[in-house]
Structure 1
Amino acid sequence: MGKALAQLGKFTVMLRKSWSKPENMALYWRAFIDQCVDIGLRSFWIIIAVSFFLGMVVTMQTAYMLTVPAIPKSVIGMVARDSVILELGPTGIAAVMATVVGFRIASELGYMRMSEQIDAQEVMGINTYAYLVLPKILASVLVMPCLTVIGCFVGLLAGGFAGESMKLVAFSDYLFGLTDRFKPNTVSIAIVKSYVFAFIIPSVSAYVGYHVVGDSLAVGKAATRAVTYTCVAILMADYIVTSLML
């Protein structure tokens, strides 16, 4: 318990030191743009592919479970809509981002720590917490909600395509189910989740990578550990946000 509290304290200190005034705004801006490219553009097609197949699977499984003839086919669209928007979209995309982006961030900072690049920057008077961690958090908070919205849209569209092509539900019935008794609050919950996950992924991964101790082999172990911690934190945050907003 004491070790966990100590780690939480170090994590809080890292976040506090990260939110400081930049020494060179132009340098920080370039770092922010680079992170937007790394986190957003380089993950775009992965998110599209995952969302596409996720939407198709949700539609097929929903159609498989609805075996009562009295239930209208439009219910498939309703179930797929709420499943993708509320849970599978934001949480599934966050899990993928934790694997792809979180591993990269932890590895990058871990190798910088091993090669003493972080120490060299600190000697030059650079606040390494702010320069190395803050742009990653800000870029993730900006980009990830956009990826979540796009992913949910692609998933729902793919679900309609799968239902039509496999003769499970007509696209018109599926589309009616998407709009029938739609609650805008579900979109708000998905957006809030995406912002929370967007903060968790770079901050936890950066913390683990920044505090790597050992040789180069420890970097790989730390990156794997960062993905594990991030996924656990995402699931915990998912439960908290859902219980508060539903």
Structure 2
Amino acid sequence: MKQLVNVLTLVGRYILLVKSAFGRPENFKLYWQAFIQQCEEIGLRTFWIVIGISAFLGMVTVVQTAYMITIPVIPKFVIGMVARDSVILELAPTGIACVLSAIVGFRIASEIGYMRLSEQIDAQEIMGINTKAFIILPRILAGMYMIPLLMVVAVVVSLIAGGIAGVSKGILTANEYHFGLLNDFKPFGVTMAFVKIVVFSFLIPSISGFMGYYAKGDELAVTKAATQAVTINCILILIADFIITSIMLNM
């Protein structure tokens, strides 16, 4: 019972923090500068990591799909179809989101946590600044802007790398893979992937900002809060993934 109360208390504090974070900015110029800085931190500094992971996800997907399809009568272009749907519906949105929750989420939580530890947040509050908005809002908006772009890049890179791996290993021809990517394509899959991406890109910076903002204690406590942010993000991403998939596939 006590654990349930603690969870509900955290949820309530999170909702109130997010509500306060979307308050009216005191200085749009400063908020814009913070937004641009966070776009660089979230997008540019994780770009090559996303590229590398996406490439290997695509290659492994094609190779494993070819390994599982052992019936000779099944045409080779089916490998392209399976790879396309796997990457768009699950691997790119959920897989890359979990990776970004570890990289971006840990950085945001630890960064804000150290601001709390060094009393920077307290000093800003004394100056009358809405710290929830000034510190967390630019990170949320930057996450919701950059993470979907990274997901699009992840999908494209995964499919290209998968095709290169399939062709180079002699699994299928380039024409067969290309035909499989286009055959029976359903735009609804892209819509569902986009909904997932938007939800994930909101959860990662907001949860991480929440954990860092209320971190208390010494440097070890800040590191612990950042680690908890990564764990909570991954759990909520998987839960949200299941809920969104269940709802949208039954519409």
Question: Same fold per TM (> 0.5)?
Answer: yes
Cross-structure match for 1:64:
67
Cross-structure match for 1:120:
123
Cross-structure match for 1:5:
8
* Cα distance in structure 2, aligned partners of 1:225 and 1:123: 29
Alignment of 1:158-173 (within 5 A): 158-173=161-176
Determine which of 185, 208, 212 is the counterpart of 2:211.
208
Q: Write the letter of the residue equivalent to 2:234.
A: C
Q: Which runs of 5+ in 2 are unaligned?
A: none
Cross-structure match for 2:223:
220
* Cα distance in structure 2, aligned partners of 1:225 and 1:15: 18
Q: Write the letter of the residue equivalent to 1:42.
A: R
Query: Deviation of residue 96 (structure 1)?
Result: 1.0
* Cα distance in structure 1, aligned partners of 2:9 and 2:227: 21
* Cα distance in structure 1, aligned partners of 2:52 and 2:18: 33
The SS at the match of 2:217 is coil
The SS at the match of 2:26 is coil
Could you list the structure 1 runs, at least 4 aligned residues long, displaced by more than 6 angstroms after superposition: none
Asked if residue 184 in structure 1 is aligned to residue 173 in structure 2, the reply is: no
* Cα distance in structure 2, aligned partners of 1:140 and 1:7: 22
* Cα distance in structure 2, aligned partners of 1:232 and 1:21: 31
Query: Deviation of residue 20 (structure 1)?
Result: 0.7
Q: Could you state the TM-score of these two structures normalised by the residue count of structure 2?
A: 0.97
* Cα distance in structure 1, aligned partners of 2:153 and 2:243: 24
The SS at the match of 1:133 is helix
Q: Could you state the TM-score of these two structures normalised by the residue count of structure 1?
A: 0.99
* Cα distance in structure 2, aligned partners of 1:215 and 1:139: 28
Deviation per residue, 1:95-135 (Å, 9 max, x gap): 11101000000000110111111000100111000000000
Q: Number of aligned residue pairs: give it.
A: 246
Cross-structure match for 2:247:
244
Cross-structure match for 1:36:
39
Q: Which runs of 5+ in 1 are unaligned?
A: none
Q: Write the letter of the residue equivalent to 2:138.
A: P
